[in-house]
Every structure is written in C-alpha cells, then in structure tokens.
Structure 1
Amino acid sequence: MGVWATIRREWFIIGIVLVISAAKLQPAVGVRGGPLRPEITVAYVAVSLIFFNSGLSLKTEELTNALLHFRLHLFVQSFTLVFFPLAVWLLLKVLALSPIDQWLLRGLQTVSCMPPPVSSAVILTKAVGGNEAAAIFNSAFGSFLGIVVTPVLLLLFLGSSSSVPFTSIFSQLFVTVVVPLVLGQACRCFLKDFLERRKPPFGAISSAVLLVIIYTTFCDTFSHPDVELDPTSLLLVVLIIFSIQVSFMLLTFVVSTRSGSGFSPADTVAIMFCSTHKSLTLGIPMLKIVFLGYEQLSLISVPLLIYHPAQILLGSVLVPTIQSWMTAQQKTEVDVVPVYAEGGEEIDSSAHLMKRRMTQPTVPYHDQSSETSAGGRD
C-alpha cells in the first residue's frame, strides 16, 4: 500500500524517468519526421491542448487580474530579455579565456536571447500551485515579444544578415496559444457549473501532455547528428547551464520575496519559472533561420538542446520544495495578518488574533490548499 501511494504521489517524476529512458532506447520514434510526427503532434496539438486546458480550467477573473499585474510582467520580461542576455554576455567575456569551444559559448549566448517557453513554465507553475494566470500571460506575451526582440538580440550579440519570417512565427503562436486559450475560456462559460462541481484533474492532464513533450525533446537530443565536440567542453557547458539556471532562479526568488516587493508567494513561483525558462520550440527554428548557412549551426544549437530538458528536469525536481515553501508562506499569511487600530497604527496582529479567537465562536477551518490541489484553481 505504501509503495502504491508513493507511485501515485510521485507519478510525474517516475514518468519523466520512464520517458527519458524510452527516448534513449528508441529516439527515432519521437524525432521530427518519425512515427509520432512531433512537428505536428507536439508543436501544434500538444501545445494547443495545454493552452486549451489552461483556458478551460482558469477562472476568467484570475486571468483578468493577471493582465493588470503590470509590475510582474515588467519584471519577467525585463529579466528574461534584457538582464539575462547581458549577464550571459558578461560571463562569456570571462569564459572566452577558457579552453571551452567558442561555438558552444556562442550557443550559450543564443540561449540567453530566447523568449520564455509556451508550455513548461505554465505547467510547472500550475503543478506548484502558483499564479498560473500570470505564467500564461507572460509565456504568451514573451513569445510574441520574442518574435521581434530575439532576432534583434541575436544580431546584436552574434551578428547575421538573414531575415526572419515574422509572419509565419506569429501565425503559429496565434494558432497554438491565443486561439486554444480563448476557446477554453469560451467553453468554460457554458461548463462552469459542471467544472466546479466535478473538478476534473486539469493538472494531471497538463502533466501528462508535458511528458509527451519531454519524450520528444529527449528523442531530438539523443538523435541529434554527431558533431565534433570536445567532451570536456561539453561537460563544462552542461555544468554552466545548470549553474545559470540555479543562480537565476535563486536571484529571482530573492528579489521577488524581498520586503516591499509587492509579490505574493504565487507570483514568485510564476516569476521564477517564466524568467529563467527558454523556448526550444521557438529557439531551434529561429536559429536555423537567423544562422542559415553557418557550418557550425549544430554546435550553436547544442546549448539550447541541453538547456531545454535541463530546465524541465530542474523545475520538476524543485516542484515539491517550492510547493512546500509556498504552502508555508500562505499559512503564515493566513495566521498572521496586519491589524490596525482606528488611528491607523499597526498593533500586535498575533495577540489580536488570539484574543479574537478566544472571544468568538469556533468556525470550522476551510482548507483552501486541498481545494486548490483538487482543481479549485486549475
């Protein structure tokens, strides 16, 4: 019974291990042009399903509130499209003195210029119970913004004279992000009572779709054409990528939780994932467009191929820890709230709360966290 309970609780982590193992054994199944046709089933169907599911599960008032959270949007977009590229550029000035392959280092710069992904950041935010609406908005808005900003950053930092077909990229984003999200919200208007009564497992559905994306991502990674790579350089790049992700997640956490930041714990979760995740779906096609004709294109692409699965793995591993932190913060906010006297002076909230509990009748405690995990916020 204990083993089965553990499997049910940790099924997503177990699923990640299984799909990666399957990708390693048979990468040809999930590569572009393979039996699964990920260029259609993942790029369009899976991503569309994720955002339709989000539109169906997300309360309209929450999405509306997220649209007005300008400070959060400014923080995420500034971090991922301004601070991130500049910080990596400065880091590469130092790493240029190292024996690491220079084309791999240029690949690290291309990673820094990419917009947020349109799937993993949203699903991981949902899995933790963070501000899903803010994650959806910033993933979608960042992707649209990246259509223009990313090529400009690539040309600025690395140089290329190739033109970018903005129209085709914009069309794909509109079809896979905006349309499914709007359709999901429209369906929710008709099914609202049913959804609130039955509480479908929206989180589990999105997680299952993410497993498919992880599988095809690793199929591409394991079947990538062999390039002349120095094993030492490759290992160092992997370590640098994980170091960048951990450092930047910690940085966004510290900044967004400082006193007076104005961000809730749920906001912090969305900020951590959206600010540090980078899009492979947009990244690889954009690299092929901007660096068309480069013999070293495969080397430039390697860091992005590593970064994408690394961010999913790291994010998935950190989900329980971040979830525990957020739950603890929310309970603290519930237990201790600022209380003000008539003159506006703050008084001891904990003492006031204890006195109120002693003088008022007992009210049954309503566990909001269980409602959330059951689909209340999904």
Structure 2
Amino acid sequence: MLFKKIKFNGFILALLIAIPIAYIFPNGSRWLHLNTVTDIGIGLIFFFYGLKLSKDTFRSGVRNYKLHLLIHLSTFVLFPLLVLPFRPMMNGETADLLWVGMFFLAVLPSTVSSSVVMVSIAKGNIPAAIFNASLSGLIGVVLTPLWLGLVVEDAQGVSVVTVITKLLLQIVIPLTLGIMLHHKIGHFAVKKSTLIGYFDKTIIVLIVYSSFCLSFNAHLFSGMRLEVLLLLFAAILALFLLVMFVVNTVSKKLGFSTEDRVTALFCGSKKSLVHGSVMAKIMFGHSINASIYILPVMIYHISQLLIVAFIAEKFNKRATASN
C-alpha cells in the first residue's frame, strides 16, 4: 500500500528498461532527435515548476530558520564535504569518472514531490517540507554548477559561457517566467500536477536513454567490472545512511519536535533525479561519460525511495500509536 501511495514503481521500471533499450538501439537517440526534444522538455519542466511555486508557501515557511539551515547545509555542504576527501584515492580513469558522478550527486538539490509525500506519510511538518523542497531547487540552480565548476576541472570541454547560456535558456528564464505567471495560470499547473509529473518523468527517461546511447556507442562500459558497480552501490548507500544519521543527531541536539525532525531527516537526505538529469545534460554536454555521471543519481534515487518509504511508515505507525 505504501508503494502505491508514492507512485514510483513505473518510473523506476522505465529508467531500468531505458538502459537495455539503449544497448540494443544505441543510435535511437540520434534518429529520434532526442537532443532537441530533451532541450525543449527541460525548459518546460522548469516552467511548470515555476508555475506551481506559490508566494504563500514561502511566507508560511520562513520562520523556522534552524530547520531550514540544517536542511540546506546538509544538502549543499555536508554531502559534498563527505565525498570530497575521497578524490585523491581514486586511481584510474573509471574510478575518477565514478567519483565525479558521486560528487555530482552530492551537490544536487533535494527532490520536491517525494520529500513532501514522505513527510506527509511520516506525520511531519508538511508546510516546512514544501518550503524547503521548493527552495532547494531554486538554490541548486546556482550552487550545483558552482560546486562543479570549483571542483570538477573538465566538464567535457563545455565552456563556462556555454554552460551559463544553457542554464539561462533552459532553467532560469523558464523558471522565472513560470513564477511570474503563477498568479494567472498557476491553478492550471496545480490542477494538472499528475499529468505534468508524467511529462517530467518522460523527459528524464529520455535523457537517461540518450546518455546511455552515447556511452554504449563509445563502448564505455565494456571494461567496467561488476565488483566496481557493487562498490559504487555500497558507497552510495553508506553516504545516504551517514547523512541521515548526522541530520537525525543534529536535529535531536537542537531540540526539534518530532515533526520537524522528520522534515529535516527526509528533506535533508534526498537528492533530485530531475535536477540531476537536467544538470548532467547541461554541464556535461554531449559527453560519452554522461551516463556514468547520472548512474549514481539513479542508484541513489531508487535507494532513497525504498529506504525512506520504510522509515516513513515506521514514523507513521509510531505517531498513530501515540494518538
């Protein structure tokens, strides 16, 4: 029942199916002109995202500054600082590429929809969850490429001017336009949230498929051993659990209520696959390595949903029992 509530099974299945399809039809991305399709799709994703952002959401959430600080420090500072020290230990091209993927994951903003749904299931502070998840996406537009620019020396030959131009055209301008039009047609975006959600997920699946097409054409995965992928999964899982432990500990030290602790725990440990797919396409251009950079984000996305769903249900049962 819980998995039906969060409605992610079909999306995960589509992501997983996209990989073997890319292997079988590696030229499909070029035939279908997916580069143009996904460029337009990215702009629409952020336009609709802006349409759904309400000023009331931000007004109602600004007061609880300790909670907000903890969530965003976890998302944009704790995560990258946990991954950064491992850079010197990465020996070999594959290890270095996977580390870049891990760091890329670490600097992404928090996800919006699943964070709010999980907080709701766990009986947390829903207004604070909406506020922080929305704000995280806005902050990520600036901080994610800034972190990458400072640490990752080569974004596959994409110039700074090109990246800034793409950010403006595909994210900042559509997002700003959506926010400006919220009071006029924002109700349409809210009413059609389910349909827009399907559209967002379709674009993400197409980006993943297109990225893997490039990699399979370049035979990028031919030399990657299974134990390397298992080690990557273990590292991602360890990162997720460590962040949850730190956020939970700090929340208790700060004397947060159970509702605020739930919100900090879920919003401060989540990472957005939507922003990850979009940023990878913008930051790394048409790199054959793009799928490797997206791979940790996909693994993290699936892991966080499964683990947080279990934890949310535990909080829900505890809250129900205490009433």
TM over 0.5: yes
Rounded to whole Å, the distance in 1 between the matches of 2:291 and 2:227 is 11
Q: Does 1:124 align with 2:114?
A: yes
Shift of 1:19: 5.4
Shift of 1:150: 2.7
Over residues 187-220 of structure 1, what are the superposed CA-to-partner deviations in whole Å (9 max), with x where a residue is unaligned? 35xx5xx99xxx9473x34542343144224313
Q: Does 1:105 align with 2:96?
A: yes
Paired position in structure 1 for 2:44: 45
Matches within 5 A, 1:318-333: 318=307, 320-328=309-317, 331=320
Aligned partners of 1:81 and 1:115 also within 8 Å? yes
Aligned partners of 2:101 and 2:296 also within 8 Å? no
Rounded to whole Å, the distance in 1 between the matches of 2:277 and 2:311 is 24
Rounded to whole Å, the distance in 2 between the matches of 1:185 and 1:331 is 37
Q: Does 1:74 align with 2:69?
A: yes
Larger Rg: 1
Rounded to whole Å, the distance in 1 between the matches of 2:2 and 2:72 is 38
Shift of 1:18: 4.4
Q: Could you tell me which runs of 5 or more consecutive residues in structure 2 were left unpaired when the two chains were aligned.
A: 121-125
Rounded to whole Å, the distance in 1 between the matches of 2:57 and 2:284 is 35
Matches within 5 A, 1:346-361: none
Match of 2:21 among 8, 12, 25: 25
Shift of 1:137: 0.5
Aligned partners of 1:85 and 1:112 also within 8 Å? yes
Paired position in structure 2 for 1:285: 282
Paired position in structure 2 for 1:134: 132
Shift of 1:186: 4.3
Q: How many residues align?
A: 302
Paired position in structure 1 for 2:143: 145
The residue type equivalent to 1:316 in the other structure is L
Paired position in structure 1 for 2:209: 219
Q: Could you tell me which runs of 5 or more consecutive residues in structure 1 were left unpaired when the two chains were aligned.
A: 290-296, 336-378
Aligned partners of 1:238 and 1:306 also within 8 Å? no
Aligned partners of 2:243 and 2:269 also within 8 Å? yes
Q: Aligned in 2, Cα 1:105/1:319: closer, same or farther, shift over 3 Å?
A: same
Kindly indicate which of the two structures has a greater share of residues assigned to helix. Answer: 2
Rounded to whole Å, the distance in 2 between the matches of 1:322 and 1:30 is 40
State the TM-score, normalizing by the size of structure 2. 0.72
The residue type equivalent to 1:315 in the other structure is Q
SS in 2 for 1:226: coil
Paired position in structure 1 for 2:86: 91
Over residues 254-304 of structure 1, what are the superposed CA-to-partner deviations in whole Å (9 max), with x where a residue is unaligned? 235424253342343222215999723223432459xxxxxxx645x4542
Aligned partners of 1:122 and 1:136 also within 8 Å? yes
Paired position in structure 1 for 2:160: 164
Q: Aligned in 2, Cα 1:259/1:325: closer, same or farther, shift over 3 Å?
A: farther
Q: Does 1:312 align with 2:306?
A: no
State the TM-score, normalizing by the size of structure 1. 0.63
Q: Aligned in 2, Cα 1:176/1:72: closer, same or farther, shift over 3 Å?
A: farther
Rounded to whole Å, the distance in 1 between the matches of 2:140 and 2:9 is 28
Match of 2:240 among 239, 246, 256: 246
Aligned partners of 2:94 and 2:224 also within 8 Å? no
Shift of 1:10: 7.1
Match of 1:62 among 51, 57, 70: 57
Aligned partners of 2:43 and 2:171 also within 8 Å? no
Rounded to whole Å, the distance in 1 between the matches of 2:318 and 2:50 is 28
Rounded to whole Å, the distance in 2 between the matches of 1:7 and 1:321 is 10
Shift of 1:138: 1.2
Paired position in structure 2 for 1:173: 171
Match of 2:152 among 146, 154, 157: 154
Shift of 1:309: 1.6
Q: Does 1:115 align with 2:112?
A: no
Q: Does 1:265 align with 2:255?
A: no
Over the matched positions of the two proteins, sequence identity in percent amounts to: 12
Rounded to whole Å, the distance in 1 between the matches of 2:117 and 2:232 is 26
Rounded to whole Å, the distance in 1 between the matches of 2:3 and 2:237 is 30
More deviation, 160-169/262-271: 160-169
Over residues 34-71 of structure 1, what are the superposed CA-to-partner deviations in whole Å (9 max), with x where a residue is unaligned? 2554423431123433443x32xx5x433223345443
Shift of 1:306: 0.6
Shift of 1:136: 0.9
Aligned partners of 2:102 and 2:293 also within 8 Å? yes
Shift of 1:125: 1.4
Rounded to whole Å, the distance in 2 between the matches of 1:220 and 1:162 is 18
RMSD (Å), alpha carbons = 4.1
Aligned partners of 1:237 and 1:303 also within 8 Å? no
Rounded to whole Å, the distance in 2 between the matches of 1:87 and 1:149 is 14
